[in-house]
Amino acid sequence: MSSESRAPQYEMVNVRDGHVIIEHDVRSRAVRSYFSAELTPPVEEYLEGQRLWRHSGAAQSFQFDVRDTASGEVIPFRELLGLMYYVCCREDSDLRRIGELAEAHRISIYVAITYETAEGEPTRLSREKAAVLNRLFNDRLIDKSKKILILPDLFGLYRDISYGQIMIDFGLTAMEESR
Amino acid sequence: MNLQELAQKMGLKLVTTAFDKEVRGVYISDMVSDVIANAKAGDLLVTVQIHSNVVAAANLLDLCGILVTQGKLPTDDVVKIAEKAEIPIYCTDLNGWQMATRLYEAGVR
């Protein structure tokens, strides 16, 4: 069977709408985010050990799992905050330079940005899961001369990007943010 | 039906190179997350959003193009991104509902 006619191996399942909630610790100024599937994004501040977490903002987003259509295995992607297209990165960044080179060969680079742990460090997206994401999106392309390459955040982008650069709907939830 | 032919028939304004592609369906949304979750390869995205992340989503899903409604125009930066990604962007003064009915009347399903 040719790859042209092959059915996609993976499908997006268990799509859950919700919000990316961004909060900061008022004492250390540490910032972190998490996904909430509640209809109204939570805005209350709360204590966690020595830290007092206060709401900073919210963006509409979604979470999903991926199902292997052959084996039926469901792979959760709870650590995935969103994807960032390389062109949304700073012009002088390594990712931008690599992305420009790749795009000339019809390879579009995206970086998978993950949620932070309680300590503010990003959750690691495994190589296996990155491979599944790549397969999920590439199998669906009509244009077979084009490729999508989704990389884990090997660039430490989580440290200096803004949430507006990630493919989530930041700024569409002004009513929630103004409380 | 190909996108260029459809655009000519409907009088849409092209703001990028045409990159003519086949229109396999239509998805109407103003939310990037919704587009990623629900749009399908070959769909024409009808939206009021002109943010670069809309182009990023269209490219990720191999949508056939973006149709921006309500007279909005993408910035030069967004046009450049769309050119690199080979995603055609068309614009119209009509709103999403008016565009949807016209696309349906034109035979797009």
Q: Is the pLDDT at B35 greater than 50, yes or no?
A: yes
Q: Least CB-CB distance to B37: which of A62, A84, A108?
A: A62
Contact assignment for A85 to B33 by CB distance below 8 Å: no
pLDDT (0 to 100) of residue A5? 52
Residue matched to tokens 């244009």: A143
Instruction: Enter the ipTM.
Output: 0.93
Segment B45-88, tens digit of pLDDT: 999 999 999 999 999 999 999 999 999 999 999 999 999 999 99
Mean pLDDT of A58-73: 93
Please indicate if any CB of chain B lies within 8 Å of the CB of A167.
yes
Residue with the bigger pLDDT between B9 and A118: it is: B9
Q: Is the C-alpha dihedral spanning B23, B24, B28, B30 positive or negative?
A: negative
**pTM across the whole model:** 0.88
B4: left (phi over 0), alpha (psi -120 to 50) or beta: alpha
Please indicate if any CB of chain A lies within 8 Å of the CB of B62.
yes
Residue B23: partners with Cβ closer than 8 Å, 6 or more residues away: B1, B2, B3, B6, B42, B43, B44, B64, B65, B108
Cα-based distances in Å from B30 to B9, B15, B82: 24, 19, 17
Domains held by chain B: number:
1
CATH number (domain holding residue B29): 3.40.1390.20
Residue A105: alpha-carbon gap to chain centroid:
24
Please indicate if any CB of chain B lies within 8 Å of the CB of A94.
no
Segment A13-61, tens digit of pLDDT: 999 999 999 888 998 888 888 899 998 888 999 999 888 999 988 888 8
Contact B85, B59 (CB under 8 A): yes
Distance in Å, alpha carbon of A57 to nearest chain B alpha carbon: 17
Mean pLDDT of A67-85: 94
Q: 3-class SS at A143? A: coil
Please indicate if any CB of chain A lies within 8 Å of the CB of B34.
yes
- List the end-to-end C-alpha distance of chain B, in Å, as a whole number: 10
Domain of residue B79 covers 3-105
Please indicate if any CB of chain B lies within 8 Å of the CB of A146.
yes
- Interface A–B counts its CB contacts (< 8 A) at 71
